[in-house]
């Protein structure tokens, strides 16, 4: 028997660091790390000790023998990652590459004076940086967030039904009470306090401010009533303080989602699932009430490319395909779609759709009655919103132009960072320019504001490691600017 990693894997590699036989890959430092969406246990090398399951912050690891019906495919998904790579069968095969040893230690000179570091942002990137600083150095940390509630997207992004994933918030929150940490909520850097003032009070400042503004689509009609950004819908169901409780109304029978990343799948799932299942989650009570009286019967998820290039990750698609309260359908409007699905190799993204029903959907007909459904439509780029005073539909192209009648269109086409005070900002990428996390000695970035808006929670752990490493290098080399002391900042941070 072996253990297997399943759907909610956050890929932060906590499991890698405790595995005594190094059988979990890709590990930090290996070529695929950060690009596979999840980590995999080699069933041939696993010694079944369970250390990984104990260390997993999101309860994603189980013995293969006890996998539930819905999670059973993960035994094969874990094993197939090692096809042709296994180090334990004597014949390494064509895809073999030597596994690296995970590297997690950090060394600073003994007797080094404590640093005062401000970390701006309480999302995963900020918290991995905090964890690294508090666990491996004697630094004192001031942790700041503009919102009155800590957690960043773990609190206000991760879908409410992903209860295991949201548990990682508890792991992060342990550090809020660390004796060397001061938590300052409701303080916005750039508004309540300037970046210069913050720098003056600390040896170093790490910006972990994320990139949670919606990207624009740039097609006509995008601003019509009935066109919503996914950030609004996500903020609405997660009770984000910036989003009004009545921001989303669900009076339309068909909703179109533009983009087929994991955020689109989250929104499609929440809009179609049985509200009773959401009742015991942290969903906003107002959103739950509206979902109970929702008119939505169909959600159409549009991808501008084919099923082989869908932006969602395999575990999220499998989670949707395994639901019993929602029908999942692929709109087979183009020969390329069936072909890509039928010819995909095991492990390829398109192969995940092999068991999913396919039909050529008639977009002139209303959504069918009966169980709610999610339609995946590929090779369909948005051209224009239709409607004069309210969205009536979306014209899409990709082969022939088609108008999909829909009372709501949700744009889930990714995110963008926003400038912070007068820190340099790259308008093209929506990030703060840096080298290895260093903006300048004393100023650092981590997470989505550093790398751009992609990657799950765990990807921020190695990112934080690099940033904290740059900070410590500067500290040890004596490159940090000298700190000035002043009352203004102390007052702002006391709020």
Ligand X SMILES: Cc1cc2nc3c(=O)[nH]c(=O)nc-3n(C[C@H](O)[C@H](O)[C@H](O)COP(=O)(O)OP(=O)(O)OC[C@H]3O[C@@H](n4cnc5c(N)ncnc54)[C@H](O)[C@@H]3O)c2cc1C
In DSSP terms, which residues pair with 334 in a beta bridge?
A: none
H-assigned helices in 226-301: 230-237, 262-272, 275-278, 285-292
DSSP strand E in 186-288: where? Answer: 204-207, 213-214, 227-229, 254-258
Contact present, 458 and 11 (Cβ < 8 Å): yes
262 binds ligand NAP (CB under 6 A): yes
Tokens linked to 422:
């007068």
- Judged by CB under 6 A, how many residues of this single chain contact ligand X? 35
Least distance from ligand X to the Cβ atom of residue 407, Å:
23
Nearer CB in complex with ligand NAP: 184/269: 269
Q: Which of residues 155-194 bind ligand X (CB under 6 A)?
A: 157-158, 162, 165, 188-190
Nearer CB in complex with ligand NAP: 99/237: 237
398 binds ligand X (CB under 6 A): no
Return d(Cα 450, Cα 442) in angstroms, integer. 15
* Choices 138-146, 279-287, 354-362, 386-394 (CB under 6 A): range interacting with ligand X: 138-146
Q: Which of 102, 456, 470, 474 binds ligand NAP (CB under 6 A)?
A: 456
Tokens linked to 390:
């309210």
In the shown chain, the binding pattern of residues 194 to 233 toward ligand NAP, with x for contact by CB under 6 A and - for none, equals: -----------------------x----------------
235 binds ligand X (CB under 6 A): no
Residue 310 burial (CB < 10 Å; 0-12/13-18/19+)?
buried
305 binds ligand NAP (CB under 6 A): yes
212 binds ligand X (CB under 6 A): yes
Return d(Cα 56, Cα 487) in angstroms, integer. 43
Q: Which of 73, 152, 239, 382 binds ligand X (CB under 6 A)?
A: 152
Contacts of 105 (CB under 8 A, 6+ apart): none
- Judged by CB under 6 A, how many residues of this single chain contact ligand NAP? 25
Q: Which of 47, 49, 381, 418 binds ligand NAP (CB under 6 A)?
A: 381
Nearer CB in complex with ligand NAP: 304/465: 304
**SS3 (DSSP) at 351:** helix
In DSSP terms, which residues pair with 25 in a beta bridge?
A: 40
What phi, psi does 317 have (nearest 5°)?
-65, -45
Which residue's structure tokens are 């752990």? 461
Q: Which of 3, 33, 236, 448 binds ligand X (CB under 6 A)?
A: 448
Q: Residue numbers of the site for ligand X (CB under 6 A)?
A: 10, 120-126, 144-147, 152-153, 157-158, 162, 165, 188-190, 208-210, 212, 234, 263, 266, 420, 447-448, 455-457, 460
């Amino acid at each position: 028997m072996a253990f297997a990693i399943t759907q909610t894997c956050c890929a932060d590699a906590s499991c890698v660091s405790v595995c005594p036989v190094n059988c979990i890959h890709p590990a930090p430092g290996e070529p695929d790390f950060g690009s596979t969406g999840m980590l995999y246990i080699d069933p041939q090398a696993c010694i079944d000790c369970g250390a990984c399951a104990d260390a997993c912050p999101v309860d994603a690891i189980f013995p293969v023998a006890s996998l539930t019906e819905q999670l059973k495919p993960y035994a094969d998904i874990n094993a197939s990652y090692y096809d042709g790579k296994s180090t334990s069968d004597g014949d390494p095969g064509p895809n073999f590459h030597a596994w690296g040893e995970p590297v997690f230690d950090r060394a600073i000179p003994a007797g080094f004076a404590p640093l005062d570091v401000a970390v701006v942002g309480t999302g995963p990137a900020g918290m991995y940086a905090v964890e690294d600083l508090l666990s491996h150095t004697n630094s004192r940390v001031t942790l700041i967030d503009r919102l009155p509630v800590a957690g960043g997207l773990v609190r206000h992004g991760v879908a409410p039904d992903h209860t295991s994933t949201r548990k990682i918030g508890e792991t992060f929150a342990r550090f809020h009470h660390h004796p060397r940490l001061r938590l300052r909520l409701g303080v916005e850097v750039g508004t309540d306090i300037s970046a210069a003032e913050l720098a003056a009070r600390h040896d170093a400042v790490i910006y972990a401010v994320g990139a949670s503004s919606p990207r624009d689509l740039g097609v006509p009609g995008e601003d019509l009533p009935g066109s919503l950004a996914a950030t609004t819908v996500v903020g609405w169901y997660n009770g984000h303080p910036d989003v009004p409780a009545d921001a989303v109304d669900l009076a339309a029978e068909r909703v179109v989602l533009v983009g087929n990343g994991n955020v689109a799948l989250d929104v499609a799932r929440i809009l179609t699932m049985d509200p009773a299942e959401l009742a015991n989650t942290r969903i906003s009570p107002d959103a739950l009430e509206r979902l109970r009286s929702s008119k939505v019967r169909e959600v159409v998820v549009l991808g501008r490319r084919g099923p082989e290039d869908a932006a969602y990750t395999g575990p999220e698609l499998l989670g949707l395909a395994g639901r019993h309260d929602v029908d999942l359908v692929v709109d087979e409007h183009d020969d390329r779609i069936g072909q890509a699905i039928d010819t995909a190799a095991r492990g390829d993204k398109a192969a995940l759709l092999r068991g999913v029903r396919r039909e050529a959907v008639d977009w002139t007909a209303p959504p069918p009655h009966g169980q709610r459904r999610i339609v995946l439509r590929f090779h369909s780029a948005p051209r224009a919103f239709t409607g004069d005073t309210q969205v009536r539909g979306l014209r899409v192209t990709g082969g022939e132009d088609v108008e999909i009648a829909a009372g709501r269109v949700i744009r889930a086409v990714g995110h963008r960072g926003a400038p912070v005070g007068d820190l340099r900002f790259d308008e093209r990428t929506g990030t703060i320019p840096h080298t290895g996390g260093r903006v300048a000695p004393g100023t650092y970035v981590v997470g989505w504001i550093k790398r751009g808006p992609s990657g799950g929670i765990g990807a921020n752990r190695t990112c934080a490691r690099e940033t904290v490493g740059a900070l410590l290098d500067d500290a040890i080399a004596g490159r940090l600017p000298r700190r000035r002391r002043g009352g203004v900042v102390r007052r702002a941070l006391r709020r």
